[in-house]
């Protein structure tokens, strides 16, 4: 009975889950915009008004640490933007791109990996991320999936132990593993001297949170990741999400509260025997919808579906 419910819920989730991919996007219209974050740290984002999933900036944000020791990149955007990303990096520095770190597996953060690996960049990421890429490559639609190019798979992987530390360009870069949150292979990247942490997508301020259960994400991990970030960050540390505006530690609190509140509503509804369709129809996010930028019904329904599925999975453990 439970597995039938899970199957039904999984099928319901599928149309929402595909919204992370580049469906209707005119890549030719996207420019890369540079945002300086310190003497040798820059963020690159795609221009606004083009990406249907992230209206404020197309694709995922890229971090560029540049200096005499070479360049370290965080994430690699859609493959279709690789030339533009490289041109934007070259406006910052002509040094070799030595390291590329992925915050998580989604293609708006990793599909450019192969392009930069072929230029000599060594890719680092969580073991779970590499495993996910290898599985994706074997999936029936692999031919259409840029992740299926093994050149883009991480070369150096790590687990949930101590952070991997890279010393480059006078900066100390910590790759901090995050327990299954947005996906099962999330990493935060902390630039200690610049006092900046790139937190990937377990926080987003455009639309509702995305817990990608199909790629190993979890509600519990999402809440833990937010707590971990709050412990690491000082009051003025700039927290840079994979999409959306840069935030500070204090901004995490209402976001965490919102997730916990909606999750409790969904749990209560499940305990009352409500179906996924009933729970979606009851609009458990209603009091947040107007306040949240990009809080569309699609994004709310996907979030509620994930919470419903997560609770059902948790019930099986």
Query: Angle 119-124-130 (CA atoms, 0-180°, nearest 5)?
Result: 105
Tell me how far, at minimum, the Cβ of 59 lies from Zn ion, in Å: 10
Tell me how far, at minimum, the Cβ of 106 lies from Zn ion, in Å: 4
Q: Which of residues 241 and 279 has its CB atom nearest to Zn ion in the complex?
A: 241
Q: Which of residues 106 and 126 has its CB atom nearest to Zn ion in the complex?
A: 106
Q: How far is CA 283 from CA 32, 286, 305, in A?
A: 37, 5, 11
Burial of 274 (0-12, 13-18, 19+ CB in 10 A): middle
Q: Which of residues 201 and 309 has its CB atom nearest to Zn ion in the complex?
A: 201
165 close to 174: Cβ distance less than 8 angstroms: yes
DSSP state letters, 98-134: EEEE-SSS-HHHHTTHHHHHHTTPEEEEEHHHHHHHH
Tell me how far, at minimum, the Cβ of 170 lies from Zn ion, in Å: 30
β-bridge partners, 101:
74, 124
Of 47, 40, 45, the C-alpha closest to 72 is: 40
249 close to 233: Cβ distance less than 8 angstroms: yes
Tell me how far, at minimum, the Cβ of 201 lies from Zn ion, in Å: 4
Q: Which of residues 210 and 308 has its CB atom nearest to Zn ion in the complex?
A: 210
Task: Report helix, strand or coil for 175.
Answer: strand
Q: Which of residues 145 and 275 has its CB atom nearest to Zn ion in the complex?
A: 145
Q: How far is CA 67 from CA 57, 72, 118, 121, 291, in A?
A: 26, 9, 21, 15, 41
Structure tokens that stand for 56 in this block: 């404020």
Task: Spell out the long-range contacts of 92-95 with Cβ–Cβ below 8 A and sequence spacing 24 or more.
Answer: 92/34, 92/42, 92/64, 92/66, 93/64, 93/66, 93/67, 95/66, 95/67, 95/68, 95/69, 95/70, 95/71
Tell me how far, at minimum, the Cβ of 105 lies from Zn ion, in Å: 8
* Residues whose CB is less than 8 angstroms from the CB of residue 296 and which lie 6 or more positions away in sequence, other chains included: 207
Q: Which of residues 51 and 201 has its CB atom nearest to Zn ion in the complex?
A: 201
Residues forming the site for Zn ion (CB under 5 A):
106, 201
Q: Which of residues 109 and 256 has its CB atom nearest to Zn ion in the complex?
A: 109
Tell me how far, at minimum, the Cβ of 101 lies from Zn ion, in Å: 15
Tell me how far, at minimum, the Cβ of 244 lies from Zn ion, in Å: 12
Q: Which of residues 13 and 66 has its CB atom nearest to Zn ion in the complex?
A: 13
Tell me how far, at minimum, the Cβ of 3 lies from Zn ion, in Å: 28
């Amino acid at each position: 009975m439970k597995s039938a419910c899970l199957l039904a819920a999984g099928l319901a989730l599928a149309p929402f889950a595909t919204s992370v991919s580049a469906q209707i996007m005119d890549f030719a219209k996207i420019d890369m915009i540079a945002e300086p974050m310190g003497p040798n740290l820059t963020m690159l984002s795609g221009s606004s008004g083009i990406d249907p999933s992230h209206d404020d900036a197309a694709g995922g944000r890229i971090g560029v640490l540049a200096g005499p020791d070479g360049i370290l990149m965080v994430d690699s955007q859609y493959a279709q933007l690789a030339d533009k990303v490289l041109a934007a990096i070259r406006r910052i520095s002509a040094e070799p791109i030595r390291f590329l770190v992925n915050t998580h597996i989604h293609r708006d953060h990793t599909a450019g990996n192969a392009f930069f690996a072929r230029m000599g960049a060594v890719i680092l990421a969580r073991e779970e991320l590499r495993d996910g890429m290898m599985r994706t490559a074997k999936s029936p639609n692999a031919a259409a999936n840029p992740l299926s190019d093994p050149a883009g798979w991480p070369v150096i992987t790590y687990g949930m132990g101590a952070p991997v530390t890279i010393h480059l360009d006078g900066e100390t870069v910590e790759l901090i593993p995050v327990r299954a949150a947005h996906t099962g292979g999330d990493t935060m990247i902390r630039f200690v001297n610049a006092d900046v942490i790139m937190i990937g997508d377990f926080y987003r301020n455009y639309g509702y949170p995305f817990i990608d259960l199909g790629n190993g994400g979890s509600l519990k991990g999402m809440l833990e990741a937010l707590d971990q970030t709050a412990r690491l960050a000082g009051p003025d540390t700039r927290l840079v999400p994979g999409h959306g505006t840069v935030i500070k530690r204090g901004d995490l609190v209402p976001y965490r509260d919102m997730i916990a509140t909606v999750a409790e509503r969904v749990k209560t509804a499940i305990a009352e025997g409500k179906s996924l369709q009933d729970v979606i129809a009851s609009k458990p996010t209603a009091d947040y919808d107007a306040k949240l930028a990009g809080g569309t019904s699609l994004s709310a329904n996907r979030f509620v579906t994930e919470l419903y599925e997560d609770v059902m999975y948790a019930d099986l453990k």
